[in-house]
Amino acid sequence: MDRTVLFTDEKILKAPNGMLMLILNTLVIIAGILGFIAGIGLSETGNGLGVILLAVCALLSFIICPILYAGLKILKPNEALVLTLFGKYYGTLQGAGFYFVNPFVTAVNPTKPTATENAQRPKKRTETQEKSTDNASGKAVSLKVMTLNNERQKVNDKMGNPIEIGVVVIWRVVSAAKAVFNVDNYIEFLSIQADSSLRNIVRLYPYDIWDDDESADEMSLRGSSQEVARKLKEELQTKVEDAGLEIVETRITHLAYSPEIAAAMLQRQQASAIIDARKLIVEGAVGMVQMALNQLSENDIVNLDDERKAAMVSNLLVVLCGSKEAQPIVNSGSIY
């Protein structure tokens, strides 16, 4: 994008009260109609003043004053109107109220095309294009905080595993003039940049960390979702800065392996969980066996040689680490 051609200066208009102009304009029209009627009577008597009065009142009542009504603009809270005059930027009308501006200005909002532009566009439109309008009335640009919820994407993570991920972007327009003049459609522009930024961020992190060594401190998509969302917000903000948009927040709404590898990854997770559980069981069993041998020796209950100790350790480990209950065999004779 060539920064030398970007629109940078926004001018906030201080327009007069529209209600006052509405009343004055209406009174002038009524007075003009009355003067026109009076001029007709004077002109019939051959009075030249009547002809002049007739022409002035007709000009005011039927040509000039009706045109002035086009300059009346109504704005709701958190809305703005970007106005152009004969193709040049005129100013931005902002703030709730009833205003009067130059009647020849035109409001511009690329997300709300005219009926002619709609007819020229292809009939088949994507879901994102269907949502590419805000809820502001008329051609106004909404300054409210809005939500962009893009469809889920299939992206490869750092390890090359295909995953499905979806994000929601909370955003708002901070410069209506930049949003209108610097990009063709600021909502579609935001959607495309959100997809691009998401792919750039996801490929930097693995879906999950499997190793228990020092590399496990690395961030992952599943374990560090808030940090990943924050980095996504920062990158997306740099891309939409020139469009007059502010990224308030980004959130990961969906994260999962793609269906083609989901079953294999589930088996891997199950195997990892089983191994971790077995490690814990073995550590506990070894501690219990050591405690049993120490107590037998300290209390002088029975003196075992190394061979008998090994047999006892083996039996205890089988009982404690086995996945099924052990069936004991009672020895009624000597242990030797």
- pLDDT band at residue 169, thresholds of 50, 70 and 90? very high
Which one-letter amino acid corresponds to residue 311?
Answer: A
- Rounded CA gap, 167 and 195, in Å? 9
Q: Are residues 246 and 272 in the same domain?
A: no
- Kindly state whether residue 78 falls inside one of the protein's structural domains: yes
> End of a domain among 107, 126, 150?
107
Q: Are residues 148 and 233 in the same domain?
A: yes
| Range of the structural domain that residue 11 is part of | 3-107
- Kindly state whether residue 35 falls inside one of the protein's structural domains: yes
Look at residue 134 in the predicted model and tell me its pLDDT: 66
- Kindly state whether residue 271 falls inside one of the protein's structural domains: yes
DSSP states of 42-80: HHHTT-HHHHHHHHHHHHIIIIIHHHHGGGEEEE-TTEE
Residue 130 corresponds to which tokens in the numbers above? 């269907």
Long-range Cβ pairs for the range 259-262 (8 Å, 24+): 260/162, 261/161, 261/162
- Rounded CA gap, 293 and 300, in Å? 11
The β-bridge partners of 88 are: 85
Q: Are residues 248 and 268 in the same domain?
A: no
- Kindly state whether residue 336 falls inside one of the protein's structural domains: no
- pLDDT band at residue 213, thresholds of 50, 70 and 90? very low
State which of 7-11, 150-154, 179-183 shows the largest mean pLDDT. Answer: 179-183
* Locus of tokens 């008597």: 45
Q: pTM of the prediction?
A: 0.69
Q: Spell out the residues 6+ positions from residue 305 whose beta carbon is closer than 8 angstroms to its own.
A: none
- Kindly state whether residue 24 falls inside one of the protein's structural domains: yes
| C-alpha pair distances (Å), 109 with each of 22, 44, 126, 186, 290 | 26, 52, 20, 10, 78
* Locus of tokens 């009647």: 103
Q: Are residues 211 and 182 in the same domain?
A: yes
- Kindly state whether residue 73 falls inside one of the protein's structural domains: yes
Q: Are residues 13 and 84 in the same domain?
A: yes
Look at residue 30 in the predicted model and tell me its pLDDT: 80
Q: Are residues 216 and 277 in the same domain?
A: no
Q: Are residues 249 and 270 in the same domain?
A: no
- Kindly state whether residue 121 falls inside one of the protein's structural domains: no
Which one-letter amino acid corresponds to residue 301?
Answer: I
Q: What's the domain count of the chain?
A: 3
Look at residue 247 in the predicted model and tell me its pLDDT: 93
For 173-203, write each residue's pLDDT tens digit. 999 999 898 888 899 999 999 988 988 888 8
Mean pLDDT of the chain: 76
Look at residue 238 in the predicted model and tell me its pLDDT: 92
- pLDDT band at residue 119, thresholds of 50, 70 and 90? very low
Look at residue 237 in the predicted model and tell me its pLDDT: 93
State which of 73-82, 214-223, 249-258, 282-291 shows the largest mean pLDDT. Answer: 73-82
- Kindly state whether residue 103 falls inside one of the protein's structural domains: yes
